[in-house]
Amino acid sequence: MEADYVIVGAGSAGCALAYRLAEAGKDVLVVEHGGSDIGPFIQMPAALSYPMNMKRYDWGYISEPEPHLSDRKLACPRGKVIGGSSSINGMVFVRGHARDFDYWQESGATGWSYADVLPYFKRMEHWHDGGHGGDTEWRGNNGPLHVTRGPRKNPLFAAFVEAGKQAGYPTTDDYNGEQQEGFGPMEQTVFGGRRWSAANAYLRPALKHKNCNLTRAFVERVVIENGRAIGVEVIRNGTKEVISARKEVILSASSINTPKLLLLSGIGPAEHLAEHGIEVVADRAGVGQNLQDHLELYLQFASLKPITLYKYWNLVSKAIIGARWLLSKTGLGASNQFESAAFIRSRAGIEYPDIQYHFLPIAVRYDGKVAAEGHGFQAHMGPMRSKSRGWVKLASSDPADAPKIQFNYMSDPQDWADFRTGIRLTREIFAQEAFGPYVKHEIQPGLSHQTDEELDTFIREEAESAYHPCGTARMGAANDPLAVVDPECRVIGVQGLRVADSSIFPRVTNGNLNGPSIMVGEKAADHILGAGMLAKDTSKPWINPNWENDQR
């Protein structure tokens, strides 16, 4: 088997890349270890807690014991299925803040400022405002990725935004437009009542081109000869074989599997490779380093009124919702239920939001366990730019072994201050008049947790990953010893090899990472095609004029 371009991983970036290269007439082969994404558990938006807890669809990675979180081992789900993590995620669509990308540019990722990436965000999306208002001129209207908003019928969605307003925060009609900061509607990659994953948006249309193919195989390493990637060694149908790349190999295997594959291929810190008897092809100290994520807490409140989704938390209701969805792709099954959101600044002197909220009209965990109290609602709250950094390393030289993952969550003292502030700001929001008719009492953390020490105990025991790992093959200047890829996504020190996924992020972006990961695939395609980049868009985003002196 061979192709001009071999893409490893049919995830968010890999699917976008395949689509753009195939559209340009290139001969493309996508290699994916996971199987089909067909079926209600993946395609039905409201069923989102199922696929990420199913071995069939998830690599099932677990962190090493996290020293600052009571040595808990935290789940790190990554999609092992067509569509990758876009087939098992929460379907929340956030571009990231303009300043995130300006930071990328400043840290050596030349050509990745907001002005550079905004045209790719526009090109990739087909935005449906649903009559809710928003920034039409900032959005794309004919891309493959459909972005919609939930119906927001439950009064709690409006109460959350109104409470934010009453607490003195701005509102925003479109956090993916000119103004991210504030309270407003949340956006989702759902279309026609179905999960609009990268597989539905990009891969299926790409495979309609004769020059684009998909094969199911487990990639063990990149084959490199005389400093050039010439293909990948895979296990396919139980047999080891090499799939050849006439032009380039592109790793789009996730921020966990991409560094693992680089290391197995001899690209990484020489010392670590020597530990596992792997011959050094390129000594790159940054491979597997710089691991970042968002950590969050679920702040839960009991409801005075029986209007939450808890009334559907029984087999009969679930069956009715499922049946309606199967028949018409409508009803509660057609939304991820994250329909109101907020981005705020934790204190004066922070230029742009550093706390994100997802609001949900039920008190439930990501693994599907509801609060014992019955009717309730919750806000997922988490700081955006932790300085804590972790790593991904090999457990052994055997490609079948899962890598070792250490996030090193909460290792920076500022993380604790930010989380405590976040909890107190959240309590203030839920104490506003807008929630008067709905808040019965606080379930979690509970009013017994007031002092810094009490809140720290709660954080230590209850903080969960928001499942946004990135940064493990950082993009930077070619002469930066810790950069793994240059600003054209080329692996430094090896020819014919690129990385295009969230592992190249120099720093984690605000919000959920599916949007920026797809953007990376879109932009990497233009670097590969070499026909020039989209023209910069110098639209100026809104920054709170009083950010230096005011928190809101």
Sign of the four-CA dihedral 194, 196, 197, 198: positive
Smallest Cα–Cα separation from 375: which of 363, 365, 359, 358? 363
CA 392 to chain centre: 17
CA distance 307 to 197: 30
CA distance 185 to 500: 30
Please report how many Cα atoms fall inside a 13 Å half-sphere around the Cα of residue 138, on the Cβ side: 20
State both tokens at 35.
């199987």
Cβ-contact 121, 387 below 8 angstroms: no
What DSSP character marks residue 319? H
Residue 44 counted as an annotated binding residue: no
Q: Which three-class secondary structure state does DSSP give residue 3?
A: strand
CA distance 347 to 206: 46
Smallest Cα–Cα separation from 551: which of 403, 436, 440, 425? 425
CA distance 178 to 20: 27
The secondary structure of 483-550 as a DSSP string is -SB-TTSBBTT-BTEEE-SGGG-SSPPSS-SHHHHHHHHHHHHHHHHTS-PPPP--PPPP--TTTTT-
Dihedrals phi, psi of 467, to nearest 5 degrees: 65, 50
Residue 223 counted as an annotated binding residue: no
What DSSP character marks residue 375? S
Smallest Cα–Cα separation from 266: which of 235, 310, 295, 233? 233
The secondary structure of 76-133 as a DSSP string is E--B-BTTGGGGTS--B-----HHHHHHHHHTT-TT-SHHHHHHHHHHHEEE--TTS-
CA distance 182 to 170: 5
Residue 494 counted as an annotated binding residue: no
Residue 90 counted as an annotated binding residue: yes
Smallest Cα–Cα separation from 351: which of 57, 94, 60, 549? 549
Q: What's the full length of the chain, in residues? A: 552
Alpha carbon distances (Å) from 406 to 53, 63, 254, 258: 20, 6, 16, 16
Alpha carbon distances (Å) from 483 to 264, 287, 341, 431: 18, 8, 34, 46
CA distance 145 to 187: 12
Residue 92 counted as an annotated binding residue: yes
CA distance 308 to 475: 44
State both tokens at 19.
């689509």
What DSSP character marks residue 451? S
Please report how many Cα atoms fall inside a 13 Å half-sphere around the Cα of residue 111, on the Cβ side: 16
| Residues with active-site annotation | 468
Residue 314 counted as an annotated binding residue: no
Summarize the annotated binding site for FAD as residue ranges.
81, 89-92, 219
